[in-house]
Amino acid sequence: MKFEGNHELPSLEFIEDEGIIKIWGRSIANEPKDFWVPLREKLDDYLNDPRDIVLSIDLEYFNTPSAIQILSVLKILKEKLKASKRKLLVKWISDDDNMVEAGEDYHAMLGFGDWKFINKEND
């Protein structure tokens, strides 16, 4: 599954046979459901697979509607993976303090998975 982002929605690459989901760019659409809802639906089906998941999020900015959608995706991952005892690794990539703080907030809210915070300036 691939989605080429634009000035309002992020890009997505979902490498199903490896359990890798990459999201990058900006998510500033007032109605970001066109991006996030299909991803949630795909995840709901895919997470019946026994694989662990690596979620790589490299968003330079997202607005409040997108923040709600991101949390929804994370909750789906937590529900499905925790029930099956599979692992989640979240790679939160940013060089912006506000975006790092947002990732830390999600980590605290979710209370699940391994989180790796990566500073793009240092990589």
Half-sphere exposure of residue 28: CA atoms within 13 angstroms, side-chain side? 8
Q: Does residue 82 register a pLDDT over 70?
A: yes
According to the model, what pLDDT value does residue 71 have? Answer: 94
Residue 3 buriedness (CB in 10 A; 0-12 / 13-18 / 19+): middle
Percent of the chain with pLDDT over 70: 98
Coil, strand, or helix at residue 15? strand
Q: Does residue 123 register a pLDDT over 70?
A: no
**Interstrand relation of 88-93 and 2-3 (parallel, antiparallel or unpaired):** unpaired
Q: Does residue 121 register a pLDDT over 60?
A: yes
pLDDT tens-place string over residues 57-71: 999 999 999 999 999
- In the chain, the domains with their CATH numbers are 2-122 (3.30.750.24)
Q: Rounded mean pLDDT of 30-46? A: 82
Task: Check residues 100 and 34 and name the one with the higher pLDDT.
Answer: 100
